[in-house]
Amino acid sequence: MILRLNLVQPCGFNGEHMKRIYLDHASSMPVDPRVFKFAKPYLTKEYGNPSSLYSPGLEAKQAIEESRKKIAEFINAENEKSIIFTSGATESNNLAIRGTALRNLNDGKEVAASAIEHISVLNPMKELQKNGFTFKTIPVDSTGTVDLEKLENLLTKNTTVTSIMYANNEIGTIEPIKEIRKIVHGKGRYLHVDATAAAGFLPIDVQDEGIDLMTLSSNDLYGPRGAGALYVKPGVKIQSIMPGGGQERGLRSGTENVFAIAGMGEAARIAKKEMKEESARLRKIRDKLINGIKKIDEAYLTGHPIQRLPHHASFRFSHIEGESILLNMDMYNIQVATGSACSHKTLEPSHVLLAIGLKHEEAHGSVVLTLGRSNSIEQVPFIVEALRDTVQRLRALSPLVKER
């Protein structure tokens, strides 16, 4: 079967003025030019292997250690030794969950996660379940906030790892980490927090918040792809899940990606310095965007209305598909997302939207808009108008509307 898409220039829009408006920063961020300038020498000049003892290798090693210190300062870690570099958030999540669960077998064979965790958290726990572990799913309410009472009831002394994300990448809801920490440490053992969506937008203090393990991603900080980090609190027992040459304290073997790691450290330094001002700027754009989109007929905000990421706006639209909205918005040169960027390989609705109580047909009509440094408040009227035009045009073609 051949699928033909006849993309027609939207009515009322002049293509000469349709500059790109990128609204999918939760999926991928551009590398900050300052970060690229800082890290570029490690692509071209400083090419030594960090494990080598001659001067180019020692220079590469120094770059990694300087980045480790920047990341530690970014999250107020106890020391730089608590930072383990990985290839990205997925590997960090796997190392945190599988590495901790397998290392602490004698303390119990239970793991737990909220129902709205990223699949790179849920799938490792399902793998553990196949190997004799008990995997418990913690429900959330209609805003995506973890049900604290059910969390407390589900955890036991045998629950070695509980994973709750700092904020959700699909619906923007910020979780009450301090309250969750008290329950996890009172009933179970270690708390892992996936902070991929929140880092750089919200101040994070692992010591004050009592976090045992935390995942970070370079590209979600305007750094290069190919690097991530796992914070491991001193004293937390964890083992490698990928044996090899013994790099990163023996927990993550493989020659380090010096360019990406150096870039990640610099991206974290910039984010820490500019976060307060930038988040306040994005929050104003977000609020204007939400207020404008809510005026579209049968547009419903998903996630918490107040406790949400400052750059995040997510909606569902009745009677139309999110993928159709995405493709039509791209005709305006506006890039948005629908559900998780990692779940589009299937036709199933987002597990996050189902977990907050949406029906299958409702979950299919989701749109996620995540702002970044390239966005401005002047773009909002054009975005809202383009989305309204898109929704109206798609509904006019939808058999679901005609059946009502």
All structural domains of the chain: 15-31+275-402 (3.90.1150.10), 33-270 (3.40.640.10)
**pLDDT at res. 392:** 95
Residue indicated by tokens 């609705």: 349
- Measured between alpha carbons, how far is 380 from 317 in angstroms, rounded to an integer? 19
To which H or E segment does residue 111 belong?
A: strand 110-114
Instruction: Respond yes or no: is residue 11 known to be catalytic.
Output: no
**What band does 15 get if pLDDT is binned at 50, 70 and 90?**
very low
Query: Greater confidence, 303 or 52?
Result: 303
Q: Please state the rounded mean pLDDT for residues 225-241.
A: 95
pLDDT in tens, 234-279: 999 999 888 888 887 878 888 889 999 999 999 999 999 999 999 9
| Residues β-bridged to residue 24 | 370
Choose among 51, 35, 31, 45: nearest CA to 256: 51
What tokens appear for 65 in the block? 């250690």
**What band does 356 get if pLDDT is binned at 50, 70 and 90?**
very high
pTM, entire model: 0.92
**pLDDT at res. 247:** 84
Active-site option among 58, 342, 397, 400? 342
What lies within 8 Å, CB to CB, of 253 at 6+ separation is 240, 242, 243, 244, 245, 246, 247
CA–CA distance from 293 to each of 55, 313, 321, 391 (Å)? 57, 9, 17, 11
pLDDT in tens, 316-351: 999 899 999 999 999 999 999 997 444 455 567 899
- Measured between alpha carbons, how far is 341 from 322 in angstroms, rounded to an integer? 12
- Strands 228-232, 83-86: pairing is antiparallel
To which H or E segment does residue 264 belong?
A: helix 258-293
